[in-house]
Amino acid sequence: MTVITEDGVRLWASRSGAPDSGDPMILCHGGPGLWDMFEDVAAMLDGLTTVIRWDQRGCGRSDRCDGPWTTDRFVADLDAVRRHFGLDRVALLGHSWGAQLALSHALAHPARVSTLIYVSGNGIGPVSDWHAAYKENLASRLKGRERPGDEREQVILQWSADFADPARALELARRMADPWFAINYACNRALNTEIKNTWGTPGLRAACRALDLPVLIVDGAEDIRPRSAVDSLEEALPRVRRVVLPRAGHLPWVESPAAFREAVTGALAHRP
């Protein structure tokens, strides 16, 4: 299915699940510059609600384009997906960078969001609060591993550090890379630079304090990105619940699927 934004970019999208049960949900993948990897999440929610997946502009199965690579533009694209499917209000589930995108959309359009599920994000403090520790943890998990020459294999090796179970890490990272699309490095660099320059401001904290909708934060306890970074968001939100899944890394639905599904199901039911 194709969603066309107001500036003419074609976005890949897919709809599945039960059409008339619960809040429809849009999933926002991580990156920036990657593509939707939520097939497992859509399957575990099948029968609960309508689930919409999409590839962000310039990424995956969406049009390769020249941007613009800004949070505001991606928020507008997410809203174009919502409008395309004729949805007044949606639940948003975002992972990693996608968690920041979903939060940004909720801050910009709170009346259009029923529930926000914030998975493996990095909070609202400065990037400097957590990035050095992340790099150290990444290096530690990859220590002694030979770096392959092929780009796809290099990325798979790096992604393997995102899983808590070292015995299965490479296998699970290979699943992430199937299907494989070219990573949009220009998108990645531009959005990460914007985040470094704009995240951690008093205005952002004030906006989060005023966000009057239910938010579920889901973390994997063994994510190499320090989970303490998310404390800044949890402390600011007035209506928040946080679930930390043991023995799970950056993709908690992969390593702890039953507990992840239970947490998300509870959020969709608006349980406190």
Write out pLDDT tens, residues 66-94.
Answer: 999 999 999 999 999 999 999 999 999 99
Tokens of 267: 């959020």
Q: Where are the domains of the chain?
A: 2-268
Query: How many whole angstroms separate alpha carbon 97 and alpha carbon 5?
Result: 21
* DSSP code at position 38: -
Q: Which strand (E) or helix (H) includes residue 197?
A: helix 185-198
CA distance 162 to 177: 13
pLDDT one-digit tens code per residue, 193-252: 999 999 999 999 999 999 999 999 999 999 999 999 999 999 999 999 999 999 999 999
Residue 141: per-residue pLDDT: 95
Fold entry, domain 2-268: Rossmann fold (3.40.50)
Residue pair 68/56 in contact by the 8 Å Cβ criterion: no
**Ramachandran region, residue 155 (left: φ > 0; alpha: ψ -120 to 50; beta: rest):** alpha
Q: Give the angle subtended at the CA of 235 by the CAs of 26 and 132, to the nearest 5°.
A: 85
Contacts of 150-158 with CB under 8 Å at 24 or more apart are 152/177, 152/180, 155/183
Residue 232: its pLDDT value, please?
A: 95
**pLDDT, averaged across the chain:** 95
- Rg of the Cα trace of the chain? 17
Amino acid at 90: V
Nearest CA among 20, 90, 21, 15 for reference residue 54: 15
Q: Say what the pTM is.
A: 0.96
Out of 72-76, 130-134, 142-146, pick the least confident: 142-146
User: Which candidate, 231, 261, 233, 234, places its Cα nearest to that of 245?
Assistant: 261
pLDDT of residue 20: 64
Burial of 263 (0-12, 13-18, 19+ CB in 10 A): buried
